């Protein structure tokens, strides 16, 4: 309110008005000084992406199936002023990977940017297609954007029981890809508390810390991999310097990729082609059975055990 002193009008603010102005100033400064982080996580379906995000954001909600794209966010307040200083936006994509580029386009990116490619280690036949498709789309989409990539190997609790040679082969491929794309690597499992705790720490450092900080390092395939970007070498991996095609050929030479059944074939198989509905139902049931067989991905040890059982039966 104005008041006159020696013929000069001066404006004085009441305590409530002053408090409002100070709050506005604090909020403005907080916005200028705030840290914004964006995390995009994609990869295999049903590998535990939602569970990991909920653990990071400390949500107790039961994870539900992600249809296409889910958005979450987290905030961390300053201990000094109580004004939010850090905001973390998390985008989870679980749709068709062929549409990943189109989905990424409208996502606003500002501040720190991290991309997580989460693969299902229990499905060794699917790993290559997932990791190749994701990384090619990401690098093409964000050519002029600064970001960091982290490859997360999910379901390690299953993978650790696989045949040693298969584990070594898969880990060699993942290390090669990480070195080629300058990516971090961690193995994860929601069923193993130490791995879950480490994954939460990594996400917390991305969202509210100083970036991805991996204190430990392990390149031994008999244990969960944890490899900070730039810390591995071709010599340590045990293979010559390789490009993407060479890494791919080396991997699929021993692990046949999952059979990709086209949607057109699926539609044809499920069209009504018999006069009796019961025959169509049986046909669809048989189709699903054949598809499951084509996509079945057993551990090598289980496969060999099965062959031994078959041989034993034939001998009798």
SS3 sequence of 82-150: CCEEEEEEEEEECCCHHHHHHHHCCCCCCCEEEEEEEEECCCHHHHHHHHHHHHHHHHHHCCCCCCEEE
Domain ranges of the chain: 28-252, 263-315
Residue 107 has a pLDDT of 87
- Give tens-digit pLDDT for 117-128: 999 999 999 999
Task: Note whether 226 and 184 are within 8 A (CB).
Answer: no
Give the CATH number of domain 28-252: 3.40.50.300
User: Distance between CA atoms of 34 and 112, rounded to whole angstroms?
Assistant: 11
**Closest to 87 measured CA to CA, from 100, 104, 101, 73:** 73
User: Distance between CA atoms of 242 and 240, rounded to whole angstroms?
Assistant: 6
User: Distance between CA atoms of 163 and 177, rounded to whole angstroms?
Assistant: 21
Q: What is the mean pLDDT of residues 106-135?
A: 92
Residue 111 has a pLDDT of 84
Residue 229: DSSP 8-state: T
User: Distance between CA atoms of 296 and 287, rounded to whole angstroms?
Assistant: 14
Q: 143 or 300: whose pLDDT is higher? A: 143
Q: What is the mean pLDDT of residues 272-290?
A: 63
Instruction: Please check the confidence at residue 310 and state whether its pLDDT lies above 50.
Output: no
Q: Is the dihedral of CA 149, 155, 157, 159 positive or negative?
A: negative
As a whole-number percent, the residues of the chain with pLDDT over 90 amount to: 47
Residue found by looking up tokens 């990729």 in the block = 257
- Average of per-residue pLDDT values in the chain: 80
151 pLDDT band, cuts 50/70/90, is very high
User: Distance between CA atoms of 35 and 277, rounded to whole angstroms?
Assistant: 59
Tokens linked to 300: 């090598």
Between the CA of residue 170 and those of 178, 250, 255, 286, what are the distances in Å? Answer: 12, 11, 9, 32
Q: How many CB atoms lie within 10 A of CB 162?
A: 20
Show the CA angle centred on residue 251, arms to residues 245 and 252, nearest 5°.
90
- Give tens-digit pLDDT for 27-64: 555 455 458 899 999 999 889 899 999 999 888 777 67
Backbone angles phi, psi at 170, to 5 degrees: -65, -45
Tokens linked to 35: 């840290």
Q: 206 or 277: whose pLDDT is higher? A: 206
Residue 12 has a pLDDT of 63
SS3 assignment, position 152? strand
Q: 66 or 117: whose pLDDT is higher? A: 117
- Give tens-digit pLDDT for 175-229: 999 999 999 999 999 999 999 999 999 999 999 888 888 889 999 999 999 999 9
The stretches of the chain forming alpha helices (DSSP H) are: 15-33, 49-56, 100-104, 124-141, 156-159, 164-181, 193-208, 234-237, 244-252, 263-270, 277-295, 300-315
Residue 236 has a pLDDT of 96
Which residues partner with 149 through β-bridges? 115
User: Distance between CA atoms of 167 and 300, rounded to whole angstroms?
Assistant: 10
Between the CA of residue 115 and those of 50, 63, 225, what are the distances in Å? Answer: 15, 21, 18
């Amino acid at each position: 309110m104005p008041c006159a002193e020696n013929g000069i009008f001066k404006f004085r603010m009441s305590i409530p008005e002053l408090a409002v102005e100070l709050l506005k100033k604090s909020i403005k400064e907080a916005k200028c000084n705030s840290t914004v982080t964006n995390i995009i996580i994609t990869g295999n379906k049903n590998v535990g992406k939602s569970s990991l995000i909920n653990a990071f954001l400390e949500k107790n909600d039961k994870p539900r199936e992600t249809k296409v794209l889910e958005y979450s966010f987290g905030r961390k307040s300053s201990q000094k002023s109580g004004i939010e200083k850090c905001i973390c936006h998390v985008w989870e994509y679980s749709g068709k990977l062929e549409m990943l580029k189109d989905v990424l386009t409208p996502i606003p990116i500002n501040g720190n940017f991290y991309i997580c490619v989460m693969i299902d280690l229990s499905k060794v036949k699917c790993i290559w297609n997932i990791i190749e498709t994701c990384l090619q789309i990401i690098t093409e989409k964000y050519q002029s954007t600064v970001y960091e990539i982290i490859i997360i190997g999910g379901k390690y609790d299953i993978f650790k029981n696989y045949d040693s040679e298969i584990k070594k082969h898969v880990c060699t491929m993942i290390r090669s890809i990480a070195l080629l794309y300058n990516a971090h690597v961690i193995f994860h499992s929601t069923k193993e508390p130490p791995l879950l705790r480490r994954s939460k720490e990594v996400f917390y450092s991305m969202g509210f810390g100083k970036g991805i900080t991996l204190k430990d390092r392990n390149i031994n395939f008999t244990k969960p991999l944890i490899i900070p970007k730039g810390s591995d070498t071709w010599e340590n991996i045990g293979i010559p310097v390789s490009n993407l095609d060479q890494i791919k050929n080396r991997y699929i030479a021993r692990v046949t990729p999952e059979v990709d059944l086209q949607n057109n074939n699926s539609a044809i198989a499920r069209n009504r082609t018999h006069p009796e509905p019961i025959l169509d139902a049986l046909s669809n049931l048989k189709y699903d059975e054949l598809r499951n067989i084509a996509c079945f991905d057993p551990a090598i040890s289980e496969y060999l055990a099965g062959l031994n059982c078959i041989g034993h039966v034939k001998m009798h």
